[in-house]
Amino acid sequence: MKPLNVADYRLAAKRRLPRGMFEYIDRGTEDEVGLRGIRTALDMTRLNQHVLNDVSVPDTSTVIFGEKLPLPVIISPTAVAGLVWHDGEVQLARAARAAGIPFCVATQSMTSMEDIAAGAAGANLWFQLYVFEDRGLTRDLLRRAKALGIRNLLFTADTPRSPKKEWNTRNGFGIPIKPSLAGGLDLLAHPRWSLAVMLRYVMTTGVPTYAHYPPAYRTSVTRAAVWDNVKLARRLTWDDFAEVRREWDGNLILKGVLSPDDAERALSLGADGVVVSCHGGRNLDSAPMALDALPRIADAVGGRMTILADSGVRRGSDIVKYIASGADAVLVGRAPLYGTAAGGEKGAKAVIDILREELDHCMAFTGRSRLSEITREAIWRP
């Protein structure tokens, strides 16, 4: 049956992916209080319905960092997206290009930024930075992103430790993938994924692993020798953010902000934007919901910097709720990943099209014909 919504694509992804892989993208951390809370916060937010406005042609376009986008949506960085489909990051970038929206390449990508740029020529690429223990490697990533003409850098700051993903400890999924009996049986149970992805990776590039890590990391014999350098920085402070600001002359956006103080501090250090995010319920399980934290942050820094937000967007109405709460645009992580896992570029594009159509509907039902009309008053208060 043709998938009609993001939830259908999630089920299609679940059927196709090995269990360990699916749970890695789908689940949260610890007790998944955060994951459930994100959905609850969005569902509990009701929108005012207004009738008899001319909504014959709602305009979903916006301008982010000087660029006109047909939709207020950016594809969020997701580590190992390249595993859900062979060359998954290239598929995502092509889908983004077809939809005219940006795709943010992750530091922990399976495909290098150069290969993504070549495989999806003309795509609007952003880059997400995780700072390594070895700051020289980090500077090198910035140089490479700049050489590709990338202008927008997301500095992810909300992962000071590897989060406790107990589902992955139990199902054995990790990068690099380690051979195990359970993992082998999992692959055998999902022959379509295994043949299409694993065999092609093994035949072309060896065991799939992070493409931006130094070559020594990519071979099992020398991996241990460079491990200390490629660990994500354990000591990461505002000084590191200021240093990246000095080195990066494009737009710098701090990702993982949930307090007005942090947003103010980022602004004072020259940030051009923030992503208000609870990391899709994948980091601090007890974090406030991005949707709840957003209005105070928008009140503090709105108009002085670009405010992006993410976590839990599965419907067009979710986009409206984030915009009404103060975001200029949203990032989507899992939704297009489910699409990619189900059908590569076509699946990811179909998910973006669903979000576009639902956004258009939601704007029409709420009587708003432009994104700028989606203000706080769009949210129903009893």
What are the residue numbers of the active site?
Answer: 279
Q: What is the CA angle 375-381-382, rounded to 5? A: 165
Phi, psi at residue 229, to the nearest 5°? -80, -35
Q: Are strands 62-64 and 67-69 parallel, antiparallel or unpaired?
A: antiparallel
CB 20: neighbour CB atoms within 10 A? 21
CA distance 55 to 245: 42
Q: Is 333 in the site for ligand FNR (CB under 6 A)?
A: yes
Indicate the residue whose CB is closest to ligand FNR. 333
Among 108, 138, 152, 317, binds ligand FNR (CB under 6 A): 108
CB 325 → ligand FNR: shortest distance, Å? 15
Least spacing, CB of residue 249 vs ligand FNR, in Å: 21
Please report whether residue 156 would count as binding ligand FNR according to CB under 6 A: yes
Alpha-carbon torsion, ordered 61, 66, 67, 71, to 10 deg = -30
Count of chain residues binding ligand FNR (CB under 6 A): 23
Taking Cα atoms as reference points, which of 52, 90, 78, 171 lies closest to residue 130? 78
Here's the x/- map for ligand FNR, 23-42, by CB under 6 A: it reads as --x-----------------
Give helix then strand counts, H and E, for the chain: 16, 10
- Binding-site member from 10, 19, 279, 356 for ligand FNR (CB under 6 A): 279
Binds ligand FNR (CB under 6 A): choice among 90, 313, 341, 363:
313
Q: Is residue 78 a contact residue for ligand FNR (CB under 6 A)?
A: yes
10 near ligand FNR, judged by CB under 6 A? no
Burial 70-107 (b: 16+ CB within 10 A, else e): ebbbbbbbbbbbbbbbbbbbbbbbbbbbbbbbbbbbbb
Phi, psi of 254 (to 5 degrees): -85, 125
Per CB under 6 A, contacts with ligand FNR among 118-147 are 128
How many angstroms separate the CA atoms of 230 and 138, rounded? 9
Nearer to ligand FNR by C-beta: 311 or 317? Answer: 311
Answer yes or no whether residue 45 interacts with ligand FNR by CB under 6 A.
no
Q: Name which position in 12, 79, 150, 263 contacts ligand FNR (CB under 6 A).
A: 79
**Rounded least distance, CB 93 to ligand FNR, Å:** 15
The binder of ligand FNR chosen from 334, 349, 356, 368 (CB under 6 A): 334
Query: According to the binding rule CB under 6 A, does residue 280 interact with ligand FNR?
Result: yes
* Residue 357 one-letter amino acid: E
- Rounded distance between C-alpha atoms, residue 353 and residue 251, angstroms: 27
Least distance from ligand FNR to the Cβ atom of residue 274, Å: 13
Closest to ligand FNR by CB, 78 or 251: 78
Q: Which of 87, 186, 285, 310 binds ligand FNR (CB under 6 A)?
A: 310
The reply to whether 312 sits near ligand FNR by the rule CB under 6 A is yes
| DSSP calls for 234-271 | SS--HHHHHHHHHH--SEEEEEEE-SHHHHHHHHHTT-
Torsion of CA 341, 344, 348, 354, to 10 degrees: -90
Where along the sequence are the contacts to ligand FNR (CB under 6 A)?
25, 76-79, 106, 108, 128, 156, 255, 277, 279-280, 282, 310-313, 331-335
